[in-house]
Structure formats: C-alpha cells, structure tokens
Structure 1
Amino acid sequence: MAAIVLVHGGWHGGWCWHLVSDRLKEGGHTVYAPTLTGLGERAHLLTPDIGLETHIADITGLIEHEDLNDVVLVGHSYGGFVISCAADRLPQRIQSLVYIDAFVPEAGTCTSDYADKVRLDELNAMADRHGDGWRVPPPDASFWVSDPELIEWVNARTTDHPKRCFSERINLQGRLNDIASRTYVQAEQHTNPQFLEFYTRFSKDPSWRTFQLPTQHDVMLTMPDETAEIIAGALG
C-alpha cells in the first residue's frame, strides 16, 4: 500500500512530526513517523554501538515488515543520510524522496564530511565533556527554532545522539538513481550553507522539485501546513 514515512533528524524523535503527520492523515494518507533507535522515547536503548547502519535498518525494517510500497520517504537534516541509504537498498518500494533541509549524501561520505569545522569541533567537544566520548548532547533548541515557547518545548524532548552516526560512511550501490521523483526543501533562516548549496544545485535540475520556506531548520514544527502540502504533492 502507498504510505508516507517521515524520518527525523539528529537529537529528535518521531515526536517532531506530529503536526505534519496529523495534517497528512486528515488528507487520508497512511503515515509512519518512527523514532530511530536510541533517540526520543527509545533513548533507553542508546549504546556506543548504534550508528547510521542501525538507523537505516530501522527504516528498511519498517518498510519491509509493514509491506509498504509506493512509499514517499521523507528525511529531515541527518535523516537525509538515512533515507538515501534506505532507498538505495529498497528502490522497488520507494516512489519518491523528499529532503527537508537535509543532507543529500554521495557514496563514501559521512555526516561529518558536510559539517563546518568549527561546528564539528564543538560537537566533538560536547561529546568528550558530557557524553563519555561516544554520545553528543543536544544543542539548545534555538539552533533549530526561534519562538521561545517552541524552544522550551523542543528542549524538553531532544536527547543525546550516538556520535558514531556522524562518522559512519555510507555505501551506495547506485540503485538510488532508480527513484525519479525527488524533492528538496530549504529553510531560508537556517545558517547551514550546505543546505543552501543543495537547494541551489537541485533548483537547476528539472528532475527535482525544489522549495524555499521562510523559516528555521525545524520546518515541520514552524510551517507544518506548507510542509505537509509539499510532502503530499510528492504522491501521485
């Protein structure tokens, strides 16, 4: 059956999609918003062994065990790595990919390859000081949103992220190219130049749908109506 699978980014959980998920379900769509292993309400499972491969298995396992087909696979931020690898392994089940202010990785890369050096040094220092060297405490939510009430709400829900996820390199087999429908959404008020670079590149490619939204990084929380509409538009 056709379905939408929403994959969150670093330090987040399935909770960040609730506004978008509600809107998509109201439109009659089947929606899954899983929490990746070791994060959110699954933080009690956090171990040093959890890496990107664990999270890829979370998503491929969901798709296979729920017997999903014609999937619109959506990834936010770090989730772009997860959906790219999951789609490369199950292209026959994926109808469309939607990247929400997310990484669109190339084979052999890891998240750290796309990070600003200063930012990467900060994350490594946080892991060393407060995460026993293997887990990265969440940044303050003001990095993702600007509304004070929303900052407080997000801060109460973010959890440590396994550091291994950011250094584990991906192995793409080229099957990702079998998926013709792709969408990129860039948050104009986010400071990561890498996401703007992705948007600029893909906006020149007629095979991509591209959008810019005047908001911060957690687009699904700040502009849920527009986000849901873009995702729904990838079905069909």
Structure 2
Amino acid sequence: MSTYLLVHGAWHSGQCWDRVVPLLASAGHRVLAPSLTGHGDKAHLLGPEVGLDTHTDDIVDLITGQDLTDVILVGHSYAGLVVSAAANRIPDRIAGLVYLDAMVPVDGESAVDVMPVTQLLIDQAAAAGTGWRIPPLPELPPPGGLFGITDPADIAWVRSMLSDQSVRCLQQPVRLDNPAADTIPRTHIHCTVGRPDNFHRRPVPPVQPNGTPAQVRELAAGHDCMVTAPAALAELLLKVG
C-alpha cells in the first residue's frame, strides 16, 4: 500500500480530487487530498501573509503530524513548487514526486520565475484594486475552457470550489538546498489539450536529479485532468506507486 498525497493548484481546493481519490483508494492505497490554507475549508484563513511557505508548512505538518512515510507526493500546477519545497524539508518521508502539469522550480525561484506570465495576473490584480489577492482565471473559448474544462456541469462544479489566491504564493521563492531530496524519483505528467499559447512549459531535462532517465507521461486532457480524465490520471498515478 502506498500513501498518495494530492496537492491542488492555485485557486482550487482539495475537492478537485474527488473523482480520483476513490479510484486510488479502491486499488488499496491511502489517499489524502487536503485543502491548502486560504482554500476550501480553510478559505477563511486567506490573507496577504499566506504564501508558498504557508502551503509548504501545510503539507509538511500533515505528513509529520500523521507520521506518514513512503508518500507519493503529487503537485498540480502551482503546487509543483509546494511539493518541491516539502520534499526538500522531509525527503526521507517521500517515495516519489509527481509533477502534474506543474511548475517545476530550481532553488531560489518563485512561480513568477518559472512561469513569467503569472506576473501579468499580479499586475492585473493591482490595476483592478484587489491588491494582494488574485481572482480565479476567467473561462476561455473552447478548447481552453475553465482550466481546460469545457463541460458546463463540470465548469459549474469547479467554479463552486475556486477562491482567490494570495499574491505572495506566486512571489515567494522556493528553497531547494537539501541534496537528499535529489534522490527522490520524479514523474512528470503533461496535459496536452487546450493549453493557452502564453503558458509555456519548461522542457524536462533528460536526466533526473538522481541520475536516472526522466519519466515523462502525456495525458490527452485539459489542465484540470483530475476533473475531466480521472480514470486515465489514476492509471498513471498507480504506475508511480
């Protein structure tokens, strides 16, 4: 049995994994899908002080508080930074990192460094007077949709769980200075449908930090594949565990 810890991306909550959790659990695994501070059941805690360090603490505290080991840590989108930072702090508890259509930073980078288009979101929030909080992205024409979701019922469901994101989450740099974290196997899952032209993905180096060949998988789904392709995503995740 593996323990899968699924970490949602910006604006979302742990509820976004609801269609994936039972699929992993039915295969005999333990599955946790918490909401980060400022989102879901913790939405009331959102404030300008909430940042990447806050969300890293959320995950580290959950793992250590429940004494979890051999964790498959899955980070979606912005949460690529969160899982990287968490693995840096407690590498001995992490069996694998999965970057699900995610930002993959190096030491000292912020979300803005990894994906510079996010600076536009910060600038737009400032211009609109919302300051430290960035509202969820608007729906785009198909095939972009809402985070790659085009079905009206799914859009309504996901929109019900979205909340503003603190600017600090995108500006705070990640600390990746623990050599032990480099030994953790990595898997990259890239969603291939409906990606906006201005969202550029960094190429994955051919060799992982641990010296083994890169593991890159493609999923024919939009960015929120946990909503639109849960079975296909669960199948890929089970191969990691």
Q: 2:164 aligns with which of 160, 167, 174?
A: 160
Contact 1:184 1:202 in 2 (8 A): no
CA-to-aligned-CA distance 1:84-136 (integer Å, 9 cap, x gap): 0100111101101111000110001000112244x5224421354252x1111
SS of 1:194's equivalent in the other structure is: coil
Distance 1:198 1:20, change over 3 A: farther
Structure 1 gap segments, 5+ residues each: none
Structure 2 gap segments, 5+ residues each: 140-144
SS of 1:28's equivalent in the other structure is: coil
State whether structure 2 residue 236 is matched by structure 1 residue 230.
Answer: yes
Identity of aligned residues (%): 39
Q: 1:218 aligns with which of 217, 224, 234?
A: 224
Contact 2:136 2:162 in 1 (8 A): yes
Give distance in 1, aligned partners of 2:122 and 2:151: 24
- Structure 1 residue 2, shift from structure 2 partner: 3.8
Residue equivalent to 1:137 = 135
State whether structure 2 residue 192 is matched by structure 1 residue 188.
Answer: yes
- Structure 1 residue 53, shift from structure 2 partner: 0.2
| TM-score (structure 1 length as normaliser) | 0.90
Give distance in 2, aligned partners of 1:234 and 1:115: 26
- Structure 1 residue 162, shift from structure 2 partner: 0.7
Give distance in 1, aligned partners of 2:169 and 2:152: 29
Give distance in 2, aligned partners of 1:115 and 1:230: 25
- Structure 1 residue 203, shift from structure 2 partner: 8.5
Residue equivalent to 2:142 = none
- Structure 1 residue 159, shift from structure 2 partner: 0.2
Amino acid aligned to 1:166: L
| TM-score (structure 2 length as normaliser) | 0.89
Structure holding more helix per residue: 1
Residue equivalent to 1:73 = 73
- Structure 1 residue 147, shift from structure 2 partner: 2.0
Contact 1:87 1:94 in 2 (8 A): yes
Distance 1:167 1:73, change over 3 A: same
- Structure 1 residue 15, shift from structure 2 partner: 0.4
| Number of aligned residue pairs | 230
- Structure 1 residue 206, shift from structure 2 partner: 5.1
Residue equivalent to 1:83 = 83
Instruction: Spell out the pairing of 1:19-58 with structure 2 (5 A cutoff).
Output: 19-58=19-58
